[in-house]
């Protein structure tokens, strides 16, 4: 049995986050050894995220709304996300210290943001998206481990049946990332969105199911009357016995390999300094 990578889930009081689209799982901090996802509180976190983003507008080239050039534009997008019924947005922090380090000694550095989109609690369907990271951490393990954390949250706490990933037909890096993370290409929606530059965007749709993630045979019972909190407790017991399997295990191995052989974290993160 392969023991799953350590992860923790901590629910915040409602005063500590601005969104309420995840039912009983609203306001959950998701933390692995070196990555922490903190639910966004609009007035507190938007100025901090702006400092990370403001000198790198090309990070939003592939977003439907395009690059943002003023704080007012940036705030408006964050406010729209926070007021949406089918978005949930986290600020992403990274630490150079491993999970074996005393928590009080860890230096968490804000490095970007990630969302769940297209949220359907009824159908237990979600989308990982709205991803952006400071250029200095791109190519490190950060994107892999952040997405891993959100996938585990989706399958372990939201009891997702499907998690999807979609991207612009010209965004080759995102298409490669989807495959690396373990998503399968479902198909292409032609002329799906008019992009910010006025051109048509064909959208590549990828997906991963709970069967893929846990390495199980394909299931057909959607359990429409499923009690999520009861299902979480049952799944916890099952995972204690089975450990990491399927695409979860594969992604954990990929993350560890990237940490050993990939691009190192920038010196600013190692020193616990802000990115800008």
Q: What is the pLDDT of residues 181-226, one digit of tens each?
A: 999 999 999 999 999 999 999 999 999 999 999 999 999 999 998 9
Q: Are 58 and 67 in contact (CB under 8 A)?
A: yes
Question: Which pLDDT does position 88 carry in this prediction?
Answer: 97
- Which CATH code fits 8-266? 3.40.630.30
Question: Which pLDDT does position 79 carry in this prediction?
Answer: 96
User: Rounded to the nearest 5 degrees, what angle is found at the Cα of 27, between the Cα atoms of 183 and 168?
Assistant: 30
State the Cα–Cα distance between residues 251 and 145, nearest whole angstrom. Answer: 9
Asked if residue 45 has pLDDT above 80, the reply is: yes
Buried b / exposed e along 187-223 (16+ C-beta atoms within 10 A): eeeeebeebeeeeebebbbbbbbbebbbeeeeeeeee
Asked if residue 98 has pLDDT above 90, the reply is: no
Q: Are 8 and 14 in contact (CB under 8 A)?
A: no
State the Cα–Cα distance between residues 187 and 166, nearest whole angstrom. Answer: 10
Asked if residue 102 has pLDDT above 70, the reply is: no
Q: Are 275 and 269 in contact (CB under 8 A)?
A: yes
Question: Which pLDDT does position 2 carry in this prediction?
Answer: 59
State the Cα–Cα distance between residues 131 and 148, nearest whole angstrom. Answer: 13
Question: Which pLDDT does position 100 carry in this prediction?
Answer: 60
Q: How confident is the model at residue 243 (pLDDT cuts 50, 70, 90)?
A: confident
What residue segments make up the domains of the chain, in order of their start? 8-266
Asked if residue 3 has pLDDT above 80, the reply is: no
Asked if residue 52 has pLDDT above 60, the reply is: yes
Q: What is the DSSP letter of 182?
A: T
């Amino acid at each position: 049995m392969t023991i799953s990578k350590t992860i923790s889930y901590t629910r915040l009081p409602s005063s500590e986050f601005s969104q309420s689209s995840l039912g009983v799982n609203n306001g959950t901090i998701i933390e692995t050894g070196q990555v922490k996802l903190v639910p966004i509180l609009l007035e507190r976190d938007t100025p901090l995220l702006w400092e990370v983003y403001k000198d790198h507008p090309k990070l939003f080239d592939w977003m439907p709304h395009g690059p943002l050039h003023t704080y007012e534009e940036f705030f408006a997008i964050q406010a729209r996300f926070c007021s949406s019924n089918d978005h949930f947005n986290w600020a992403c922090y990274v630490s150079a210290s491993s999970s074996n380090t005393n928590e009080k000694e860890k230096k968490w550095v804000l490095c970007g943001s990630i969302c769940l989109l297209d949220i359907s609690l009824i159908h237990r369907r979600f989308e990982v998206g709205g991803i952006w990271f400071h250029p200095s951490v791109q190519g490190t393990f950060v994107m892999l481990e952040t997405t891993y954390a959100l996938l585990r949250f989706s399958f372990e706490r939201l009891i997702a049946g499907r998690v999807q990933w979609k991207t612009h037909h010209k965004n080759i890096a995102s298409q490669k990332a989807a495959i690396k993370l373990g998503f399968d290409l479902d198909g292409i929606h032609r002329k799906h969105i008019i992009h910010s530059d006025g051109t048509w965007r064909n959208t590549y749709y990828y997906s991963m199911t709970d069967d893929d993630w846990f390495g199980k045979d394909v299931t057909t019972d959607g359990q429409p009357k499923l009690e999520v909190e009861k299902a979480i407790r049952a799944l916890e017991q099952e995972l204690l016995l089975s450990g990491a399997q399927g695409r979860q295990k594969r992604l954990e191995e990929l993350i560890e390999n990237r940490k050993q052989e990939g691009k190192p974290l920038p010196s600013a993160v190692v020193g616990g300094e802000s990115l800008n």
